[in-house]
A and B are shown apart, each in its own frame.
Chain A
Amino acid sequence: MSFIEFRNISKRFPGVQALDKVSFSIELGSCHALIGENGAGKSTIGKILAGVYTADSGEIWIEGKRVSPANPLEARTLGISMVHQELAFCPNLTIAENLCLGNLPRKWGWLDRKEMLRQAKALLGEIDCPLDPMLLMSMLTTGQEQMVQIAAALGSGSKVIVMDEPTSSLSAHESEALFHLIEKLRSRGITLIYVSHRMEELFRLCDAITVLRDGQHVSTEPIKTTSKEKIIHQMVGREVLFKAPRHREESLGAKVLEVTNLKGRQFSGINFELREKEVLGFGGLVGAGRSELALALMGLDPEATGHIIVGGKELKPKSIRSSMASGIGLVPEDRKRQGLVLSMNCRENASLAGLERFTHAGLVSDRQERECVEKYTSRLRVKTPSLETQVASLSGGNQQKIALAKWLVRDCKILIVDEPTRGVDVGAKAEIHELLDELACSGVAIIMISSELPELMNLSSRILIMRDGKLQGNLSHKEFSQNAIMRLMAGI
């Protein structure tokens, strides 16, 4: 009998089926890897086990008993903890206070500081963590904070620890410390669920590996019987959903953008060119610096240095208005936070960046605004009851189209799209791909950042791969292969 068993777990988020009848099991005391592309559902299943989400249907069995943790606290009493990316502690309190927060030691009703320190020291000692428990949480690095999270998990008597992409924001040195700790946890019989897409870590740490793809279970096998090649194949091996783009058949137009020696917050030494009718794909892992590059091109990185030349003229650095004036538009990664004003309707969102086009003597011409927005929303086939509908009530795909329309209203010449189909269902995804293709054919130069290989390979004319803030390779269309891209992304 397996230790943990997932049976037909399904979970739906607005617009996406995140998990679709996923079943697999995990052995006691093993380190079990969950791997898959972005949106494959690997984090979702970890979060369901840890009570962050609840499954729509399906069952979880632990040691032959059915469990259904409704929240993280319940999961914790079942012996399951999660090491999060997000802030899990109160940054304004000390390590000791955070560690004991659930059950602060008291003496005569007063906080027993001595006892609290003793407990915290003991917990940190368990994992050989040298941190001073009196330090403020906000002073720690991500790696140190993870250590404290693990200490807290052990302190609450956890037998299972879920780690969600634990190394994605750690330095090499910090990662090494984490790997040591993981070995130690395993020797104590803790079962680990390790969510990551960094292949080399998995082969080093884990005993078994489960591959997920598009919310479905692909395989679960011991790590000994599989190989990197096989896993890559399992992760990406899927039918191509959309037809070949037309823009590749047309010859490239004039050079519109030239970037030399661009350096910013999380990247440096970036050089590339972009031509009309080109779709330039940017591949890489999360944290490779692609979104930061996009912000710098848009004039939104206050630390950016280097040269950005659009149509022969150099851009004023760090000025979004200069970037916009020269025809650059950005459909950002986080649609709800950066792309749209959710309290406004479709028309107001679509015209937000181009208001001055319909403004005469300060007054917005209703008719011109409506006509222009309608032209582009119908071209983008936005499905909405009316342009006056609140944008918050649209599906992810239609929201993304409104975010695109915002830049078309400005006649943008260089369009940067960052993860254009994240959180968008399959049908709308194909539609957005077609639209980007159409735009490229009509002469717009497109920079597309994507973490999905099929999307990159099917839509791009050329792919640049970034890793750790540097360009790692430039693949022309003929050189596209999932293996080649994966290798460049992961640096193997």
Chain B
Amino acid sequence: MTRTGLLNSRYLRLQEGGLLLVILILGLSLTIFGGKVDRPKFELNSAGERQRVFTTGADGEKVPVFESCNKFLNAQTMAQLAKDTSFIAIMAVGATFIIISGNIDLSVGAIYALASVLSALVFHRFGPDGVSSAQSAVGIFLGVVTCIGVGTLAGIANGAMMIGLKVHPFIITLGTMAIFRGIAFVITQGQSIGNFPAGFRDLIRYETGEGLSLVPLLIMIIVAIFGGVYLTRTAAGRRIYAVGGNEVASRFSGIRVEWVKLTVFIFSGLTAGIAALLSIGYYGAATSGDGQGYELNVIAAAVVGGASLSGGKGSALGAVLGALVIQMISTGIVILGINQNYSQIIIGAVVILAVVLDQVNNWLSRRRLLKG
């Protein structure tokens, strides 16, 4: 049995192996075709802050120093890619839970916006312009709880309505997508909310090396590991696959199908809340227009990562890699100097291509099975 176990894990590795290969090829071609660029040189000063390096020119003026580096494969671009991927990848893990269970959540972008503005109000209150005199640590704590709590509650609302009203999740979340964003708009009157406690922004924007934001990256890794372990190692995770694979057979096996569905919606809302928290910390402001269209981006990432919209298939690692592929393509469009207007067309084509490749792969393996 150990041999077959080994075989199986090798097979699993192969499943995401395809994606890793795609990422490798993408990375290589961007490195090769991206060419070189001159970037200003930075160094750390005595206070530990990054600052540009200058030399004194022949006429005694300060001249900035540039260094030549690969347009794609350089520390700054990598750090940027890691940060941008993190926000989408966190939500893509949540979307993967939903999709594996055979459901769909269109409201994550709106949940993201609602959690952003509600927690921004809290942060603002404890910020430099705020009215509260309490310690900023308390404020930060309250803000974090608000952001994650709003996400979770919105997920509960989605799940409970879908189960209680027996309406297809596409319809429910299409409705809540408008409702959640509408609430965010009414509360903010379309204004941007900023001026958060400095401690909060410093925490999220904490950088190391050449501008690598550690916090979003770390949280993304934690979410991915948690999601992966939950899906593959826990009984609850197994039940998500079962419900997505065959709801009737799951019910006939004593699985509380409604409960399983509720948990995936909660998880989806929760990940939207986490992503919202990181982004308002990073950008320092929130508006009701945040996260517009994110729902489609995260579904695209999950699908490119191998999740099947008919349910029963997908993985957390796949979702993260799927998000990375999409982000690399957006970055690549900039690096290769392709007209920005084409980026949507290219990303759309990639999503379709990924699913077609997956189907071809399935078809091949089924044929191999039949022959064997």
Q: Given known contacts A355-B238, A364-B234, A386-B4, is B313 in contact with A343 (CB within 8 Å)? A: yes
A374 touches which one: B1, B8, B239 (CB < 8 A)? B1
Q: Is A344 an interface residue (CB 8 A)?
A: yes
Find the residue from A321, A362, A370, A387 having the highest chain B CB count within 10 A. Answer: A362
Residues of the A chain whose Cβ atoms lie less than 8 Å from the Cβ of B251: 300, 320
> Is A341 within 8 A of B369, CB to CB?
no
In the complex formed, the residue of B with least CB distance to A390 is B369
B248 touches which one: A321, A338, A343, A387 (CB < 8 A)? A338
Q: Given known contacts A340-B246, A355-B239, A393-B369, is B252 in contact with A300 (CB within 8 Å)? A: yes
> Is A362 within 8 A of B236, CB to CB?
yes
Q: Once the chains are docked, how many angstroms separate the CA of A352 from the CA of B253?
A: 7
> Is B242 within 8 A of A352, CB to CB?
yes
Map CB proximity to B onto A373-411 as digits: 1 under 8 Å, 0 otherwise.
010000000000111101001000000000000100000
Residues of the A chain whose Cβ atoms lie less than 8 Å from the Cβ of B312: 341, 343-344
Q: Is A332 an interface residue (CB 8 A)?
A: yes
Smallest distance from the beta carbon of B242 to chain A beta carbons, Å?
A: 5
Smallest distance from the beta carbon of B11 to chain A beta carbons, Å?
A: 8
Q: Is A457 an interface residue (CB 8 A)?
A: no
> Is A362 within 8 A of B241, CB to CB?
no
Q: Once the chains are docked, how many angstroms separate the CA of A363 from the CA of B234?
A: 4
Q: Given known contacts A341-B242, A342-B245, A352-B255, is B235 in contact with A359 (CB within 8 Å)? A: yes
In the complex formed, the residue of A with least CB distance to B243 is A341
In the complex formed, the residue of A with least CB distance to B252 is A338
> Is B235 within 8 A of A332, CB to CB?
no
In the complex formed, the residue of A with least CB distance to B246 is A341
Smallest distance from the beta carbon of B57 to chain A beta carbons, Å?
A: 64
Map CB proximity to A onto B241-282 as digits: 1 under 8 Å, 0 otherwise.
110111011111111100000000000000000000000000
Smallest distance from the beta carbon of B145 to chain A beta carbons, Å?
A: 24
Q: Is B233 an interface residue (CB 8 A)?
A: yes
Smallest distance from the beta carbon of A186 to chain B beta carbons, Å?
A: 42
Interface range, A side: 20 to 34
In the complex formed, the residue of B with least CB distance to A299 is B254
Q: Once the chains are docked, how many angstroms separate the CA of A41 from the CA of B29?
A: 60
Interface residues of B in 190-247 (CB under 8 A from A): 233-236, 238-239, 241-242, 244-246
Map CB proximity to B onto A306-346 as digits: 1 under 8 Å, 0 otherwise.
00000000000000110010000010100001111111100
Q: Given known contacts A321-B254, A324-B254, A352-B250, is B245 in contact with A362 (CB within 8 Å)? A: no
- Count of A-B contacts judged by CB separation below 8 Å: 87
Q: Is A348 an interface residue (CB 8 A)?
A: yes
Residues of the A chain whose Cβ atoms lie less than 8 Å from the Cβ of B337: none
Q: Is B5 an interface residue (CB 8 A)?
A: yes
> Is A343 within 8 A of B241, CB to CB?
yes
Residues of the B chain whose Cβ atoms lie less than 8 Å from the Cβ of A343: 241, 244-246, 311-313
Map CB proximity to A onto B1-26 as digits: 1 under 8 Å, 0 otherwise.
10011011001000000000000000
In the complex formed, the residue of A with least CB distance to B11 is A388
Q: Is A170 an interface residue (CB 8 A)?
A: no
Q: Given known contacts A363-B233, A370-B1, is B253 in contact with A344 (CB within 8 Å)? A: no
Q: Once the chains are docked, how many angstroms separate the CA of A385 from the CA of B1?
A: 11
Q: Given known contacts A343-B241, A362-B235, is B246 in contact with A406 (CB within 8 Å)? A: no
Residues of the B chain whose Cβ atoms lie less than 8 Å from the Cβ of A366: 5
In the complex formed, the residue of A with least CB distance to B3 is A386
Q: Once the chains are docked, how many angstroms separate the CA of A469 from the CA of B312?
A: 37
> Is B254 within 8 A of A344, CB to CB?
no
B234 touches which one: A300, A342, A362, A390 (CB < 8 A)? A362
Q: Given known contacts A343-B245, A344-B241, A374-B1, is B233 in contact with A364 (CB within 8 Å)? A: yes
In the complex formed, the residue of B with least CB distance to A357 is B235
Smallest distance from the beta carbon of B246 to chain A beta carbons, Å?
A: 4
In the complex formed, the residue of B with least CB distance to A340 is B249
In the complex formed, the residue of B with least CB distance to A359 is B235
> Is A337 within 8 A of B248, CB to CB?
yes
> Is A320 within 8 A of B7, CB to CB?
no
Smallest distance from the beta carbon of B243 to chain A beta carbons, Å?
A: 9
In the complex formed, the residue of A with least CB distance to B232 is A364
B1 touches which one: A330, A363, A387 (CB < 8 A)? A387
> Is B245 within 8 A of A341, CB to CB?
yes
B252 touches which one: A339, A342, A387 (CB < 8 A)? A339
B contact set with A: CB distance below 8 Å? 1, 4-5, 7-8, 11, 233-236, 238-239, 241-242, 244-246, 248-256, 311-313, 369-370, 372
Listed A/B pairs (7) with beta-carbon separation below 8 Å:
A340-B249, A341-B246, A348-B238, A348-B242, A353-B254, A386-B7, A388-B5
**6 A-B pairs with least C-beta separation:** A343-B312, A343-B245, A341-B245, A386-B4, A353-B253, A355-B235
Give 7 A-B pairs besides A343-B244, A355-B238 with Cβ atoms closer than 8 angstroms.
A320-B252, A321-B256, A341-B250, A342-B246, A343-B245, A353-B253, A355-B239
